Amino acid sequence: MSLPPFEFATATRIIFGVGSAHQVPSAAKALGRHPLLVTGSHPERSADLIEALEVEGLGPVSLSVKREPTTELASQGARLARESGCDLVIALGGGSALDAGKAIAALATNPGDVLDYLEVIGTGRPLTQPPLPLIALPTTAGTGTEATKNAVLASPEHKVKVSLRGSLMLPRLAVVDPALSASAPPDVTASTGMDALTQLIEPFVSIHANPMVRALGREGMGRVSRSLRRAFAQGSDLEARADMALASLLSGISLANAGLGAAHGFAGPIGGRFVAPHGAVCARLLPLVMEVNIRALRTRDPDGPALDAYREIAQVLTGLQSAAPEDGPGWVSDLGAELGIPPLRSYGLSPADFPTLVERSAVSSSMKGNPISLSEEEMMEILERAW
Give CATH 3.40.50.1970 domain extents, the chain.
13-181
Q: Which residues contact 48 (CB under 8 A, 6 or more apart)?
A: none
Terminal C-alpha separation, the chain: 42
Q: Give me the residues paired with residue 88 across strands.
A: 35
Q: Which residues of 56-66 are buried (b: 16+ CB within 10 A; e: fewer)?
A: eebebeebbbe
**Cα–Cα distance, 204 to 286 (Å, whole number):** 13
**By mean pLDDT, which of 158-162, 262-266, 363-367 is the weakest?**
158-162
Could you tell me the pTM of the whole model?
A: 0.95
CATH number of 13-181: 3.40.50.1970
Strands 88-93 and 35-39: parallel
Which of the following CATH numbers is that of domain 186-386: 3.50.50.60, 2.60.120.370, 1.20.1090.10, 1.10.10.10?
1.20.1090.10
Higher pLDDT, 293 or 2: 293
> What is the band of 2 on the pLDDT scale with cuts at 50, 70, 90?
low
CA proximity to 290, closest of 254, 258, 321, 334:
334
Q: What local confidence, expressed as pLDDT, does residue 177 receive?
A: 97
Amino acid at 214: R
Q: What local confidence, expressed as pLDDT, does residue 42 receive?
A: 84
**Cα–Cα distance, 312 to 9 (Å, whole number):** 24
Amino acid at 235: G
> Is it the case that residue 338 has pLDDT exceeding 60?
yes
By the 10 Å C-beta count (0-12 exposed, 13-18 middle, 19+ buried), 122 is classed as middle
Q: What is the average per-residue pLDDT within 366-370?
A: 95
Q: What is the average per-residue pLDDT within 307-325?
A: 98
Report in angstroms the alpha-carbon separations of 276 from 84, 236, 272: 34, 26, 9
Report in angstroms the alpha-carbon separations of 291 from 307, 382, 387: 11, 9, 16
Higher pLDDT, 5 or 36: 36
> Is it the case that residue 156 has pLDDT exceeding 90?
no
C-alpha count within 13 angstroms, C-beta hemisphere, residue 209: 26
Q: What local confidence, expressed as pLDDT, does residue 233 receive?
A: 97
Give CB contacts under 8 A, 24+ apart, made by 291-294.
291/326, 291/329, 292/262, 292/374, 292/378, 292/381, 292/382, 293/205, 293/261, 293/262, 293/370, 293/371, 293/372, 293/374, 294/325, 294/326, 294/328, 294/329
134-138: strand order across its sheet: 13-16, 173-176, 134-138, 88-93, 35-39, 61-64
**Cα–Cα distance, 116 to 350 (Å, whole number):** 33
**Cα–Cα distance, 173 to 180 (Å, whole number):** 17
**Cα–Cα distance, 63 to 100 (Å, whole number):** 10
**Cα–Cα distance, 336 to 291 (Å, whole number):** 15
Q: What is the average per-residue pLDDT within 53-70?
A: 93
Q: What local confidence, expressed as pLDDT, does residue 262 receive?
A: 98
Give CATH 1.20.1090.10 domain extents, the chain.
186-386
Q: What local confidence, expressed as pLDDT, does residue 120 receive?
A: 80
> Is it the case that residue 1 has pLDDT exceeding 60?
no
The overall average pLDDT reported for the chain is 95
**By mean pLDDT, which of 78-92, 120-134, 224-238 is the weakest?**
120-134
> Is it the case that residue 222 has pLDDT exceeding 90?
yes
For CA atoms 39, 28, 212, 318, give the dihedral sign.
negative
pLDDT digits (tens, 9 = 90+) for 96-155: 999 999 999 999 999 999 999 997 888 889 999 999 999 999 999 999 999 999 999 988
**By mean pLDDT, which of 158-172, 201-215, 248-262 is the weakest?**
158-172
> What is the band of 67 on the pLDDT scale with cuts at 50, 70, 90?
confident
